[in-house]
Structures are given as structure tokens and as C-alpha cells.
């Protein structure tokens, strides 16, 4: 193997392919598929990843350059992750380098630094052999000083040299040109490992004990230190700081002992453990209920066969899905394989972490975005070095560098946060399934409200890529019933003169809980704030006649627009349905609700949890702990309070307005509403006290609200699928959202129109273009271009096209090809085209 193909970290279309490099002999043992290397690229040194090894290159060997350095002791990427990056590139129309980088902690994004050393004389001779005559001696005092400085240090970074001699950059240049100094580049990671001073015995234990017996009396302090170290011998090396404080000596004393040769002071690497010093109560597996047992045995059977399989676990809230995960992970670990547990960022609460750490202790690594990049790096290394065999983490944990993966669990699989909104715009569910199929691992997608895509795939088992087996758990593990849900018609409240945001029944229910000292969770869905228009008298919401989604209010032009197809109308003054003037832009903030609560229920203790109160590190955790310790009566929040929480004394859940989720301009609005209501309702009455739920709404007849109140997932799915089918939305087709942006509007409009027409023409030529009516097994349709929901961002105008397609054709590459050709022909570097395959955020 003499040649390595390397993907180099240059984010440009033309460089997104492997380049050949020679493997020098000295590096041969270190270069593997997945190695991170420093390579010459142009006149720079760049970071890259080895994607394959070959005996020779097709390129003239004189033209290929050698790899300069290998950056890690062990390759940070495994061959299966490298394969996965190739798949991601195709599937999400992203660059392979972007895919590779998304798999690693940012700490490993190295950058080249320039270093200066003395050149060795042989290199200098070469210069004169070419017939150029120059002095090989320093010519000025400045040059002399620079040379002396470099000689003394051996090597210095160019930056350091410039700092030391701010006036002598010309001298440095001259010395480089005449070959007295040499420059080279080296990749340096942004983040270094953290070290601390530690003590270790420099002699054997016996020798140390011997020394203690004969220690000179006047060095009593040193003797104390040595005695302590001997006593603590099984725990060596000890941190210097710890020794200083425990023995109560100065660093000088310890140094003296080191000078005598009994101990050494060394730099020891320390791991940043975000959960350090925290005790997790160990837990034992619970005896499974019969429902749990069935699910458990089916999955274990698959796991034992070491065959890939995908399961969709549909279990109601509180059915004990987490306990099943724990026991299946146990089995996976017994097989000496590893497990990944994916949890939505927002549900990655300390409570969740506790459950996994409680069962598997230190073998659990945790990865989420609230960790510092140093902590993330260390958790990653814990996995990479085999010190952890379970990872619990958000989306990106799907790339955990395990080598014998047995299991990937995705909890709350319907959550939209599994889709990454930045490039690479991947969906962790698809990546998980792909990765598991490479590894022969089992995937469990768990939810009380599975996404329609997953549920439909499980029911029809029609798509070849994704055919989960459906497993159901319809009852709660503790045998208690799902809470009673009441829908409150807010139009009636208004009619009867109640203008407050609290209906009378909810008001009474809160009062009763305060009296009984039980707890309350109050959900306010603030997403979609002020973007849609609703009549408070009759519940009318302005919708697009074509696309069946809510129109978005644009204040500037005072009109309502559909951001799928571009339809626009004037914003109404009175309700077109009932003539009422109570038509307004909707949305209330959590802060206002908090004020209102204080007014209506004097003395109520409220914990508010939203983006404003949870920015600080650990605040999320602190607030939840306060609530669990019953330091508050009511937990008020956005979606954050809806998921994964398990508090025994919560007996009331209130939803201020269900409609704000329902009227998001998104074809998934009903699904999201149903999911949110079901999830939040599931927080009530989870243990011994019965629960009650109040949902306030201006459109109480909507099927998503009615079915959520009946905990009736199946009926919801039936109704929702009917709509999706009629309007050609997923799961009956797939979507690609193409967003184009530029600083100049006229140019952008022209380009966007060209994009749409090129795409249509090209699709038509292949016989793909057409309507997605129900008879078409294969079709592609293009909507737009229209202004994006955020029409201008960072001084750039934004337009978008929506591609709807169905069938086996490769629509993603077509969308990408047309984008690339357009970009080439426009030749304006300011034009950006972004492709989002299977978009989740359509607002």
C-alpha cells in the first residue's frame, strides 16, 4: 500500500474528491482508512482524511506528493464511518468533507500553522548549485538577531517570530529566500488535551519504604509527603494539588523530594467529566410487564442473531419504553457490543442521563450541545478509546466512534430536532438505519406518537430502504390509566365575557391543585409567534386555498402569503367568516403568562422554563430539580416541559392554546400538534395520583385535538394520512427544498426562475416531470420559486423552490446537478444555493 486517497479539508465543489498522496515509509504503520493527516495542498498544508489505500496511483508518481504527518495516535474515523460519509454525500447532496467533519468533535478541526527552523546546510548547497549566488552568512544585525533567536529555540512559529521581531519581517523573508531558514507547516488542533501536575514514585515501593525509615530528621515535611505517597500507592499518580492540600505542604517541599530522586513530577492528562463528582443511584432491572416482555423478546431475538433489523416501538406515554431500552442495552453489552441512545436535545435532561448512568455507571458517555467543546472532546475520546460502551446523546451521537456497534435506539423518534438544519442536512433516523445496516446492528425507533413517515413505512412495508417492524405497547407500565383530557372551547369563554388567557375550568383546576399541594405543568407553545391570523370569536384561520397550510402574515406589506406556492391576499380587517373584529395576529409570550398567573393566583410559586431562562449552563437541570423538590407549584414552559419528564406529583397539565402549533405554516402542523398534546398530557398522573389535562383551543373540533384528547393515535393517523394523500405530501411523496440567496434581488429572481425551469425541462426530458396524482408511481413536480418564509437574512434575499417527487429516480442528484450547473454559468460567487433533502423546517 503505497498510495492513500485523501479527502482534503477545502470546502469547494471542485476539491470534493479524493486526492492521491504517497505514504512515506516512516508513516506507513500509522496510515489507515480513517486516519487524519496533514498533506501539502497547493502551497499550503491542509488537514484531510484517508478514505482508501492503494498499491499504486493512476497518476504519474512524480506528480504526487507525500503525506506530511499523521495527526492522531489512532484513526479518529472507522472504515464504516468513511463509508457512511460517501452515502451521506449522495443522499443529502452535501460534500464528503462536510459529512466527515460532522462526525468529529470540533476540537479535531485542525489548522495549519507555519513554523520556522534553521535550514540544514545541504539544502543551502542546492541553492548555489542552481547557479544563484548568495551569501550564506547573515548580512545585517537584524538577520543575525533573528537567526540567533531561532537557533536557540530550535523551532518557532512564524507568528511568535513576528511578535518577537515586529520590525524585521524583511530580514525573515530574506533569510528564508537565501535558504538559511526553512519554513514548514504543521496542523495544530484547536483544542489541546487538558493536563495537570501529578506525582509518581521514581523508585520502587520497597525502596521508598526503606528511605522513609532512614529519612533525615530535619526534612520532616518531605518525609510526610513521601509517607503519604507510599500510603496512597495503589492510586498513583496523585494530583500535585491534592497532595499539597491534604498533607499541607508547599510546592517547594515536594520539589525538594523530587530533587532527591524519590518521586517525579509529571504532566498527567485529565479527562473533563461533565458529570464528575455526581453520584448516580445504581438501579437494577425491573421485572417486565407482559407487554414489555413481548417486545423485549422480539428485539432480543434479532439482537442475538446479530442481524440488522429496524423496529418501530409505539408505546403510550409511561408504557415503560425506557426500561426496555435499558434491558436491551444490557444484553447488547453482554455480547460485547456497543449501544447508541439518541435522545432529542430538549429531552436530554439530567433525569434521562441519570437513568442510564444509574444502570451502566461509568460505561456511559454523554454528548449534547450544552457541553463545552473540551468536555465534548473528552466524552468522544472516552468512546474512541473504548472506555465507554454506551453513549446517550443528541443527534450527532449517531456518529459515535464505536467499532462493534450492536444497537441504536432513537427515543421520541418523531422529534424534528433529529434533522440537522445546517449542512450536512442529515436526518439522524436515516443515518442510524444506514449505519446499523453496515454494522449488522438493531435499530429501535421509540415513540408514543411515531412520525407518519415511520408509521406508514411500518404499516405498508413498501419502501425498500426503510421497513420497520411495528411493536405496540398500549398500556402504562404501572397499570394506571392515561389521564382524563378535557378540551375547552375558548370561543365560548370569550362569548361569555372571559377575556383572560385562562378559561374558568382551568382556573378552577389550578386552584384545586394549589389547595391539595399537587403540582401543575403549563404548556405555552410559542413557536409561530405572531405569524398567523386567527379570529378569536369563531376560530377562523386564513389558509392557502391550494396548499392547505396557514398563510403567513407579513407586517410590512400588510398581506398574507403562502410560502409554499406564493399565493397572497390582503390581511383582513374583520373575520371573513363571522364578521367579528376580534381577528388578530396570534401569540403570547411565557413572560406574560407568568405575570397573569401571579395576578390570578397570589403567592403561586412558578418556575418558568424557556429559551430565556435556560441559556446558562446547568440552568435547565437546576429548574427541574427545584420543581422535583417541590419548591414550586407550577412549571410553565415551551415544548421543553412536554417531554420525558417523570414527576409523581404532577396531576394537572394545562395547554394555554393548542392552536398556535396547529396553525404553523407547515403541512406537518396537525401532526406536531397531536404529538405535542399527547406528550404533554402524558406528564400527568404518571404514578399513583390520577391526572387531568385541560386543552384550551379556538378550534376544538380539529381532528388533531379531538384525537389527542382521546389518546387515539390510530384515528389521528387515519385522518391525517387522508389529507397527506389528497394534497401530495409525505409520506406519499418526498420533498427537496432548494433555497437560493443573493444580495441583489433582480438577479436572484432571474436565477431562481432559471433554476425552476431548468429543473422542469431536465426532469421532463427523462419522463419524470408531471403531477403526483395517485396513479403516478413515479413523478416529480416543482413548486415556486417563491420568496422564502424568511425572505431576507443577513443582507441576502432568499427564494425557494419545493420539489415534490415519488419513485425510484434519483431526484436528489438532479436537483444538485442543476444547482451546480447554474452556479457555474452565473459565475457569481455570491450566489448561494442550498439543498435540503426531506426538509423538516418549512418555516
Ligand X SMILES: Nc1ncnc2c1ncn2[C@@H]1O[C@H](COP(=O)(O)OP(=O)(O)OP(=O)(O)O)[C@@H](O)[C@H]1O
Instruction: Detail the residues annotated as belonging to a binding site for Zn(2+).
Output: 535, 538, 544, 547, 562, 565, 575, 578
Is residue 323 a contact point for ligand X (CB under 6 A)? yes
Evaluate whether 521 touches 639 at the Cβ level (below 8 Å).
Answer: no
In the complex with ligand X, the residue whose CB is nearer, 323 or 633, is 323
Q: Which residue has the cell 446499523?
A: 436
For 596, how many CA atoms within 13 A lie in the half-sphere containing its CB?
15
In the complex with Zn ion, the residue whose CB is nearer, 75 or 665, is 665
In the complex with ligand X, the residue whose CB is nearer, 415 or 610, is 415
In the complex with ligand X, the residue whose CB is nearer, 251 or 286, is 286
Q: Is residue 237 reached through a cis peptide bond, with omega within 30 degrees of 0 on the bond before it?
A: yes
Long-range contacts of 794-797 (CB under 8 A, 24+ apart): 795/743, 796/741, 796/742, 796/743, 796/832, 797/741, 797/742, 797/743, 797/744, 797/745, 797/748
In angstroms, what is the minimal distance from the CB of 320 to ligand X?
Answer: 3
Residue 366: its H or E element: strand 364-367
Window contacting ligand X (CB under 6 A); options: 177-185, 310-318, 713-721, 792-800: 310-318
Is residue 567 a contact point for Zn ion (CB under 5 A)? yes
In angstroms, what is the minimal distance from the CB of 428 to ligand X?
Answer: 18
SS (H, E, C) 486-546: EEEEHHHHHHCCCCCCCCHHHHHHHHHHHHHCCEEEEECCCCCCCCCEEECCCCCECECCC
Instruction: By CB under 6 A, name the one of 38, 318, 587, 785 that touches ligand X.
Output: 318
Out of Zn ion, ligand X, none, which partner does residue 547 contact, by CB within 5 to 8 A per kind? Zn ion
SS (H, E, C) 703-754: HHHHHHHCCCHHHHHHHHHHHHHHHCCCCCCEEEEEEEEECCHHHHHHHHHH
Residue 252: its H or E element: helix 251-259
Window contacting Zn ion (CB under 5 A); options: 174-182, 199-207, 510-518, 580-588: 580-588
In the complex with Zn ion, the residue whose CB is nearer, 199 or 533, is 533
Is residue 538 a contact point for Zn ion (CB under 5 A)? yes
Is residue 319 a contact point for ligand X (CB under 6 A)? yes
Return the number of other C-beta atoms located less than 10 Å from residue 502's C-beta.
Answer: 23
In the complex with Zn ion, the residue whose CB is nearer, 578 or 604, is 578
Is residue 548 a contact point for ligand X (CB under 6 A)? no
Is residue 537 a contact point for Zn ion (CB under 5 A)? yes
Window contacting ligand X (CB under 6 A); options: 223-231, 313-321, 516-524, 706-714: 313-321
Instruction: By CB under 5 A, name the one of 183, 546, 612, 764 that touches Zn ion.
Output: 546
Instruction: By CB under 6 A, name the one of 64, 244, 288, 300 that touches ligand X.
Output: 288
Is residue 317 a contact point for ligand X (CB under 6 A)? yes
**Phi and psi based region of residue 794 (left: phi greater than 0; alpha: psi -120 to 50; beta: remaining):** left
Q: Find all residues with CB under 8 Å of 743, minimum gap 6, and list them.
A: 795, 796, 797, 830
Q: Find all residues with CB under 8 Å of 69, minimum gap 6, and list them.
A: 27, 37, 38, 186, 187
Is residue 448 a contact point for ligand X (CB under 6 A)? yes
In angstroms, what is the minimal distance from the CB of 401 to ligand X?
Answer: 27
Name the residue with the smallest CB distance to ligand X. 320
Window contacting ligand X (CB under 6 A); options: 221-229, 250-258, 316-324, 498-506: 316-324
CA–CA gap between residue 748 and residue 738 (Å, rounded): 13
In angstroms, what is the minimal distance from the CB of 407 to ligand X?
Answer: 17
Q: What does the CA dihedral 81, 87, 88, 94 come to, rounded to 10 degrees?
A: 120
Q: Find all residues with CB under 8 Å of 209, minimum gap 6, and list them.
A: 230
Window contacting ligand X (CB under 6 A); options: 71-79, 280-288, 426-434, 450-458: 280-288
b/e code 792-830 from CB counts within 10 Å (16+ = b): eeeebbbbbbbbbbbeebebbebbbebbeebbeebeeee
Window contacting Zn ion (CB under 5 A); options: 150-158, 186-194, 225-233, 572-580: 572-580
Is residue 635 a contact point for ligand X (CB under 6 A)? no
In the complex with ligand X, the residue whose CB is nearer, 49 or 325, is 325
Window contacting ligand X (CB under 6 A); options: 149-157, 319-327, 554-562, 770-778: 319-327
Instruction: By CB under 6 A, name the one of 47, 171, 253, 322 that touches ligand X.
Output: 322
Is residue 577 a contact point for Zn ion (CB under 5 A)? yes
b/e code 755-767 from CB counts within 10 Å (16+ = b): bbebbbebbeeee
Is residue 575 a contact point for Zn ion (CB under 5 A)? yes
Is residue 490 a contact point for Zn ion (CB under 5 A)? no
Evaluate whether 650 touches 521 at the Cβ level (below 8 Å).
Answer: yes
At 15, is the secondary structure helix, strand, or coil?
helix
CA–CA gap between residue 9 and residue 37 (Å, rounded): 10
Evaluate whether 838 touches 771 at the Cβ level (below 8 Å).
Answer: no
Out of Zn ion, ligand X, none, which partner does residue 448 contact, by CB within 5 to 8 A per kind? ligand X
Instruction: By CB under 6 A, name the one of 222, 253, 289, 788 that touches ligand X.
Output: 289
In the complex with ligand X, the residue whose CB is nearer, 9 or 412, is 412
Compose the 232-271 pattern: x for residues touching ligand X by CB under 6 A, - for all others. ----------------------------------------
Positions 471 through 500 that interact with ligand X (CB under 6 A): 477-478
In the complex with ligand X, the residue whose CB is nearer, 653 or 802, is 653
Closest CA to 637 of 349, 396, 355: 349
Eight-state DSSP code of residue 66: B
In angstroms, what is the minimal distance from the CB of 769 to Zn ion?
Answer: 20
Is residue 450 a contact point for ligand X (CB under 6 A)? no
φ, ψ (nearest 5 deg) of residue 276: -65, 145
Closest CA to 225 of 183, 259, 263, 279: 263
In the complex with Zn ion, the residue whose CB is nearer, 352 or 802, is 802
Please give the annotated binding residues, written as ranges.
535, 538, 544, 547, 562, 565, 575, 578
| Nine-digit cell string for 842 | 418549512
In the complex with ligand X, the residue whose CB is nearer, 71 or 444, is 444
Is residue 646 a contact point for ligand X (CB under 6 A)? yes
In the complex with ligand X, the residue whose CB is nearer, 292 or 788, is 292
Instruction: By CB under 6 A, name the one of 286, 574, 726, 793 that touches ligand X.
Output: 286
CA–CA gap between residue 156 and residue 366 (Å, rounded): 38
Instruction: By CB under 6 A, name the one of 48, 105, 142, 315 that touches ligand X.
Output: 315
Compose the 390-429 pattern: x for residues touching ligand X by CB under 6 A, - for all others. ----------------------------------------
Residues lying near Zn ion in the complex (CB under 5 A) = 535, 537-538, 540, 544, 546-547, 562, 564-565, 567, 575, 577-578, 580
Residues lying near ligand X in the complex (CB under 6 A) = 286-289, 292, 315, 317-323, 448, 477-478, 644, 646, 682
Amino acid at each position: 500500500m503505497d498510495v492513500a486517497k485523501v479527502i482534503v479539508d477545502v470546502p469547494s465543489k471542485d476539491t470534493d474528491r479524493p486526492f492521491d498522496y504517497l505514504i512515506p515509509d516512516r508513516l506507513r504503520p500509522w496510515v489507515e482508512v480513517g486516519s487524519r493527516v496533514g498533506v501539502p495542498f497547493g502551497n499550503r498544508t491542509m488537514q484531510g482524511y484517508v478514505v482508501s489505500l492503494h498499491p499504486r496511483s493512476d497518476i504519474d508518481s512524480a506528480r504526487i506528493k507525500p503525506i506530511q504527518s499523521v495527526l492522531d495516535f489512532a484513526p479518529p474515523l472507522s472504515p464504516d464511518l468513511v463509508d457512511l460519509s460517501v452515502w451521506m454525500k449522495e443522499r443529502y447532496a452535501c460534500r464528503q468533507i462536510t459529512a466527515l467533519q460532522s462526525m468529529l468533535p470540533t476540537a479535531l478541526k485542525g489548522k495549519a500553522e507555519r513554523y520556522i527552523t534553521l535550514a540544514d546546510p545541504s539544502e543551502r548547497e542546492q541553492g548555489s548549485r542552481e547557479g544563484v549566488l548568495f551569501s550564506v552568512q547573515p548580512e545585517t544585525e537584524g538577520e543575525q538577531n533573528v537567526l540567533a533567536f531561532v537557533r536557540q529555540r530550535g523551532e518557532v512559529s512564524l507568528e511568535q517570530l513576528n511578535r518577537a521581531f515586529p520590525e524585521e519581517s524583511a530580514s525573515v523573508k530574506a533569510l528564508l529566500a537565501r535558504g538559511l531558514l526553512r519554513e514548514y507547516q504543521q496542523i495544530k488542533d484547536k483544542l489541546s488535551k487538558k493536563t495537570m501536575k501529578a506525582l509518581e514514585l521514581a523508585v520502587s515501593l520497597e525502596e521508598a519504604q526503606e528511605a522513609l525509615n532512614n529519612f533525615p530528621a530535619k526534612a520532616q515535611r518531605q518525609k510526610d509527603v513521601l509517607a503519604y505517597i507510599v500510603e496512597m500507592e495503589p492510586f498513583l499518580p496523585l494530583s500535585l494539588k491534592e497532595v499539597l492540600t491534604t498533607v499541607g505542604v508547599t510546592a517547594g517541599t515536594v520539589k525538594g523530594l523530587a530533587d532527591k530522586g524519590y518521586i517525579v513530577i509529571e504532566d498527567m492528562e485529565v479527562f473533563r467529566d461533565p458529570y464528575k463528582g455526581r453520584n448516580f443511584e445504581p438501579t437494577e432491572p425491573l421485572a417486565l410487564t407482559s407487554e414489555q416482555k413481548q417486545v423485549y423478546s422480539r428485539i432480543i431475538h434479532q439482537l442475538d442473531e446479530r442481524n440488522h433489523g429496524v423496529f418501530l416501538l409505539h408505546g403510550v406515554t409511561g408504557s415503560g419504553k425506557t426500561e426496555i431500552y435499558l434491558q436491551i442495552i444490557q444484553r447488547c453489552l453482554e455480547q460485547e457490543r456497543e449501544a447508541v441512545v439518541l435522545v432529542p436535545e430538549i429531552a436530554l435532561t439530567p433525569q434521562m442521563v441519570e437513568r442510564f448512568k444509574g444502570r451502566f455507571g461509568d460505561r456511559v458517555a454523554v454528548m449534547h450541545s450544552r457541553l463545552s467543546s473540551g468536555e465534548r472532546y473528552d466524552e468522544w475520546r472516552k468512546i474512541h478509546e473504548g472506555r465507554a460502551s454506551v453513549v446517550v446523546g443528541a443527534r450527532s451521537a449517531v456518529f459515535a466512534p464505536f467499532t462493534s456497534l450492536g444497537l441504536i435506539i432513537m427515543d421520541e423518534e418523531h422529534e424534528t430536532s433529529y434533522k440537522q438544519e445546517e449542512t450536512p442536512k442529515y436526518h439522524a433516523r436515516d443515518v442510524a438505519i444506514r449505519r446499523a445496516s453496515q454494522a449488522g446492528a438493531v435499530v429501535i425507533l421509540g415513540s408514543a406518537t411515531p412520525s407518519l413517515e415511520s408509521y406508514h413505512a411500518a404499516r405498508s412495508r413498501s419502501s425498500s430502504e426503510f421497513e420497520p417492524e411495528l411493536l405496540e405497547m398500549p398500556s402504562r407500565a404501572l397499570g394506571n390509566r392515561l389521564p382524563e383530557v378535557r378540551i375547552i372551547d375558548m370561543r365560548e369563554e370569550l362569548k361569555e365575557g372571559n377575556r383572560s388567557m385562562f378559561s374558568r375550568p382551568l382556573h378552577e383546576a389550578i386552584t384545586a391543585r394549589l389547595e391539595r399541594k399537587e403540582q401543575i405543568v403549563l404548556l405555552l407553545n410559542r413557536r409561530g409567534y405572531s405569524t398567523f391570523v386567527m379570529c378569536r370569536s369563531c376560530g377562523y384561520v386564513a389558509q392557502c386555498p391550494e396548499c392547505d397550510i396557514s398563510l403567513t402574515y407579513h407586517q410590512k406589506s400588510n398581506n398574507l402569503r403562502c410560502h409554499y406556492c406564493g399565493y397572497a391576499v390582503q390581511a383582513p380587517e374583520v373575520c371573513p367568516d363571522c364578521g367579528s373584529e376580534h381577528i388578530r395576529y396570534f401569540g403570547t409570550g411565557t413572560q406574560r403568562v407568568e405575570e397573569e398567573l401571579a395576578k390570578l393566583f397570589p403567592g403561586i410559586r412558578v418556575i418558568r422554563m424557556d429559551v430565556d431562562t435556560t441559556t446558562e449552563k446547568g440552568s435547565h437541570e437546576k429548574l427541574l430539580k427545584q420543581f422535583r423538590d417541590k419548591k414550586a407549584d407550577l412549571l410553565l414552559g415551551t415544548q421543553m416541559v412536554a417531554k420525558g419528564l417523570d414527576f409523581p406529583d404532577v396531576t394537572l397539565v394545562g395547554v394555554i392554546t393548542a392552536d398556535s402549533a396547529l396553525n404553523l405554516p407547515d403541512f406537518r402542523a396537525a401532526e406536531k400538534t397531536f404529538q405535542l398534546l399527547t406528550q404533554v398530557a402524558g406528564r400527568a398522573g404518571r404514578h399513583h395520583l390520577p391526572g387531568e389535562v385541560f386543552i384550551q383551543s379556538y378550534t376544538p373540533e380539529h381532528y388533531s385535538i379531538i384525537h389527542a384528547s382521546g389518546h387515539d393515535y390510530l384515528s389521528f393517523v387515519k385522518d391525517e394520512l387522508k389529507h397527506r394523500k389528497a394534497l401530495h405530501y409525505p409520506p406519499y411523496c418526498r420533498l427537496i427544498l432548494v433555497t437560493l440567496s443573493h444580495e441583489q434581488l433582480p438577479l436572484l429572481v432571474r436565477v431562481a426562475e432559471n433554476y425552476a425551469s431548468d429543473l422542469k425541462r431536465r426532469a421532463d426530458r427523462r419522463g419524470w416531470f408531471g403531477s403526483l396524482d395517485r396513479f403516478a408511481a413515479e413523478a416529480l413536480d416543482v413548486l415556486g420559486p417563491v420568496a422564502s418564509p424568511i425572505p431576507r437574512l443577513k443582507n441576502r434575499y432568499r427564494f425557494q423552490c419545493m420539489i415534490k417527487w415519488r419513485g425510484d429516480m434519483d431526484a436528489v442528484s438532479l436537483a444538485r446537478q442543476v444547482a451546480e450547473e447554474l452556479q457555474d454559468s452565473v459565475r457569481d460567487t455570491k450566489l448561494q444555493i442550498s439543498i435540503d433533502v426531506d426538509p423538516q423546517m418549512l418555516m
